[in-house]
A = this chain, B = another copy of it.
Amino acid sequence: MGGDFAPLEAVKGLKHFKPQTSQPVHLFLFGDEQALAPLLGEHAIDASSYTVVHAPQVIGMHEHPTKALKEKQQSSIAVGFQYLATNRIDAFISAGNTGAMMVGSLFTLKVMEGVLRPTISTIIPKEDGTTGLLLDVGLNADCKPENLNQFATLGTVYAKHILGKENPKVGLLNIGEEEGKGNILAQAAFPLLKQNPRIEFIGNIEGRDILLTKADVMVCEGFTGNILLKFAESLFEINQSKQINHPFFESFNFEIYGGTPVLGISKPVIIGHGISHATAFKNMISLAVKMIDSDLIGKLQASFTVN
């Protein structure tokens, strides 16, 4: 029921989803049974592929996350997290209230052992047609150096197993190229990244390098990351409104990438954009399947286990 175009676009996304794995994918649909039934019929979704879980309440896009999640126990977000926490589902996706998704991720589920702060990331299209990962993009507005270092590890594992980068290059987003440049946070994070044995640190990268192939994983605090994410999203909108229609700017369409996983928690959770359409929902389901198939959670956890 989450997102501006729910539940119609979620159902359409379901229709377009074609499992790429040998394992069968079974979908649990959390929402208002009576609203869902006609849509599922209309789009001829194979009834054996899903189970509807009745969740009659809706958390609005502007409701207070913690309050809404506590009071609306029958909302699709609350019920979804209950199912995930009790292993009745393996991954949870929603394009609903982002704050409620964050609160649910952090408090219904557990933070991974050894992780100080979970993070959210965004895919950045590169000018050569490949992609990179930028994190954090808004969950952590103020960071300590060790947070950035952990984001680098989380991003590296994600880039390896989900984006298929064999040896992802990690760059610290900064002003100035040389070690010692930047604000206090970046100056302090640099030596930690340099000593991190789990990542391939290439040093500082600047704003001009974000769209180039210099680094696959680009690390910053969530303030700068969120502003860049939303700036990049606006480029796609401007591209559309001005009918520039160049493939490079088309690649800024977030729907291609689906949604952002919350990294550093004990289960796969994917948060979609409020304005998600069918393509975004389809791609979020594919991403969730990939996260399960690759045992991303296990691989992330392993990278925080002292050995």
Contact = CB atoms under 8 A, between A and B. Distances in A.
Interface of A: 127, 138, 141-142, 173, 175, 182-184, 186, 206-212, 220-224, 226-235, 237-238, 241-242, 244, 246, 248-249
Contacts of A249: 244
A152 B8 CA distance: 45
Given A207-B231, A231-B210, A242-B248, A222 B141 contact: no
Contacts of A242: 127, 246, 248
B207 A234 contact: yes
Nearest to A142: B183
Contact of A141 (B175, B209, B232, B238): B175
26 contacts: A138-B175, A141-B175, A141-B182, A141-B183, A141-B184, A141-B186, A142-B184, A173-B227, A175-B222, A175-B226, A183-B222, A183-B223, A206-B227, A207-B228, A207-B229, A207-B230, A207-B231, A207-B233, A210-B234, A211-B231, A211-B234, A212-B234, A227-B228, A235-B235, A242-B248, A244-B246
Contact of A244 (B141, B226, B248): B248
Contacts of A226: 175, 206-207
> How many chain copies does the complex carry?
2
A221 B221 CA distance: 14
Contacts of A244: 244, 246, 248-249
Contacts of A141: 175, 182-184, 186
A234 B222 contact: no
A230 B229 CA distance: 15
Nearest to A249: B244
